[in-house]
Amino acid sequence: MTVRRHGFGGHEAVVVRVLGEIDDDTGGQVRAAYAEAFAAGLPTVVVDLTGVTLLASQGIADLLLAQRSAASTGTALHLVAGENPRVLRPLHLTGVADVLGACRDLDEVVRRGPESRAG
């Protein structure tokens, strides 16, 4: 998991890139990465899930908590899922995809702009 600053479209964002499984065993690391991203104080946080191999219920719950954190701090939250069926399928099956939305890549995040948010 990496958390880094990234410039795009003339704006700066924090990108959380998650690799591997998001489940009960890794939930603490993922939540810490989200907390670090929001603590940076930038107007945009991007969660890149293109490298995720398993999105368990804990991971979905953590994404919903991240959305609440974003809303409470006025931060734009964007999810990047690409065409990853290991992410998209559980999000669609649970109905969370409609709540969170997802971009295909960082270029789509740039097109949406920093003021928009997932969902």
Q: What is the pLDDT of residue 111?
A: 74
What is the reported pLDDT for 119?
A: 43
CA 65/CA 70 separation, integer angstroms: 9
Taking the C-alpha atoms of 102, 37, 32 and 79 in order, what is their torsion angle to the nearest 10 degrees? Answer: 0
H/E stretch holding 14 reads strand 11-22
- For 87-118, the pLDDT digits (tens) are 999 999 999 888 888 888 877 887 776 555 45
pLDDT < 50 regions, the chain? 117, 119
- Please name the amino acid found at residue 23: D
Q: How many residues does the chain have?
A: 119
